[in-house]
Structure 1
Amino acid sequence: MPLPLKRLWYERADHWRFFRQWLRHPLTTAAITPSGPQLVRSMMAELPVGARRVIELGAGTGVMTRALVARGIAPEDLLVLELNPQLASHLGRMFPRAHVVCADARNLPAEARRRSDWGDEMADAVVSSLGLLSMPATLQREIVMAAFECLRPDGRFIQFTYGPRPPLRAEVANALGLHVTRGSMVVRNIPPATVFVYTRTRSQVIVPRPVR
C-alpha cells in the first residue's frame, strides 16, 4: 500500500477506534478524536535534543507513539501507559517491542521500576495526552509528581491542552516547583490545542515515594 494511502487508513481507523472508546468511556477518554498531525508534530518538536528514553501517558490509539518511533525513539526505550484496557491491548499489538501497560498514571514510578532493562536510568521526557485541564488539583498533583519522579533532573513533561490556558493549576505547578513554557498553538487541530512544557526549577527536588 502506498505511504499516503496507508497513512489515511491509519488515521480513519484511529478515529473510529477512539470514537468507539469515547462512547463506552466518556468520563475517562479525554477527547472524541485522536490528536491531529499538526498537534503531533508540535509535541514532537518539544522533545529534548538527543532524547532516548521516553514515557507516554494516555497513548490512546498510538498516534503519538507512532510519531515517537518515527522520531527515532527505539520501541524498547518506550514505556507506554494507557488506562483503557481495549486501547492498551491495541497498543500492545501495534508496538510489540515497546513496554505497553494498562495502568493508572499515578502508578508510573512502580511501572518504571519494573523496567529492569532501564536500570537506574531515568526518562528524558514524558509525553502526555491526558486530560489534565479537567482534573481536580489533587489528581493533577499526583499524576505530575509521579511523572517527575521518573524524569531526569533536566527532563521535560510535554502536555497539550485544548485552548490557550496551561493545563496545570498555578498552585499545583508552584507546589511542585515547576516552570511552564508555552509551545505552539495548533488552531487546525479539532478542537484547537496548545502545547505546554513543564520543567523543574533548580531548587526543586521531588522525592520518590516508596513502592506500595
Structure 2
Amino acid sequence: MDRTPQSALVHTWTFFRQWLKNPRGVAAISPSSRQLARQMMSELPNGARRVVELGGGTGVFTRALLDHGISPRDLLVLELNEELHQHLQRHFPQVQVACADARDLGAVARQHGFDESSPADAVVSGLGLLSMPRPTQQAILAAAFDCLQPEGRFVQFTYGPANPVNREVLDDLDLVARRGSFTWWNVPPATVYVYSRRVSRAIRPRSMR
C-alpha cells in the first residue's frame, strides 16, 4: 500500500466523501490516526495470528495489522460501504475483503475459513458501536465471539472516555470490558476498549424467603 503524502490525501478524501454521503453510517470525518492504530495493535493477544477486522474504512488498521505480522491470508476485513470496500480491494489485493454487514460475520467468517477448527485470535473493530442501538451491538458482539477462540479479544475504539457497549449487552453475552489507552492525536480523540469472555462469574446469593 502506497504511504506517500499524496496517497494519504487520497485515503482521507475517500473517507470524507463517504462521511458526506452518510454521516450516521460513517462514524468519523477522517480516517483513524497511526497512533490510534498502534494502540489498537498493542492490545492484540500475544502471538495473534488470525484476525478479523470490522469496518475496514480506508485501511489504516488493515495496514497496521499487516505491519504487525498478520499474514494477508489470515486477515479477513468486512466493510459494508461499497466504495470503501472497492478501495480496500484495490489497495490490499491479497487480503480477504468482504462487502458485508458485521451482524453477518458468522456466515462470512465460515465462508473465508474462520470456522470452529480455525477461529480468530482477535477481532479489531472500527465500527461506531456507541451510536448503535442495543440489539445491533448485541448481534455484532455475539457474531464476533462466535468466531473467536476461547481466549480471543474484541478490540474496539470509541470517541471520548465512555464504554461504547451497553452494560446489559456485556452481561447478556457474559463479557468483561477493559479500558485501554487514550489518544488526543486522533480526530476526534479516541479511547481503546478490549472485550473478552468472563472467565469466572460470581454466584449471586439467593434471597431468603
Q: TM-score, normalised by structure 1?
A: 0.90
1:105-120 matches, within 5 Å, as: 105-116=102-113, 120=117
**1:67 positional shift:** 0.5
Q: Would you say 1:186 and 2:179 are equivalent positions?
A: no
What is the root-mean-square deviation of aligned Cα atoms in Å? Answer: 1.7
Structure-2 residue corresponding to 1:43: 40
- Equivalent-residue separation in structure 2 for 1:118 and 1:131 (angstroms): 26
AA in 1 matched with 2:149: R
- Equivalent-residue separation in structure 1 for 2:124 and 2:113 (angstroms): 21
Judge which range, 191-200 or 9-18, deviates more.
9-18
Structure-2 residue corresponding to 1:63: 60
Structure 1, residues 156-203: CA drift from partner, whole Å, max 9, x if none?
A: 000000000011011111111111111101112111100000000125
AA in 2 matched with 1:84: N
Structure-1 residue corresponding to 2:127: 130
- Equivalent-residue separation in structure 1 for 2:98 and 2:114 (angstroms): 16
Structure-2 residue corresponding to 1:158: 155
Q: Would you say 1:22 and 2:19 are equivalent positions?
A: yes
Q: Give me the identity figure in percent.
A: 56
- Equivalent-residue separation in structure 1 for 2:47 and 2:4 (angstroms): 26
Stretches of structure 1 lacking an aligned partner (at least 5 in a row): 205-212
- Equivalent-residue separation in structure 2 for 1:94 and 1:118 (angstroms): 26
Q: TM-score, normalised by structure 2?
A: 0.92
Structure-2 residue corresponding to 1:91: 88
- Equivalent-residue separation in structure 2 for 1:139 and 1:49 (angstroms): 29
- Equivalent-residue separation in structure 1 for 2:104 and 2:30 (angstroms): 26
**1:61 positional shift:** 0.4
- Structure 1 ranges of 4+ moved more than 4 A: none
- Equivalent-residue separation in structure 2 for 1:182 and 1:81 (angstroms): 24
AA in 2 matched with 1:197: V
- Equivalent-residue separation in structure 2 for 1:110 and 1:194 (angstroms): 30
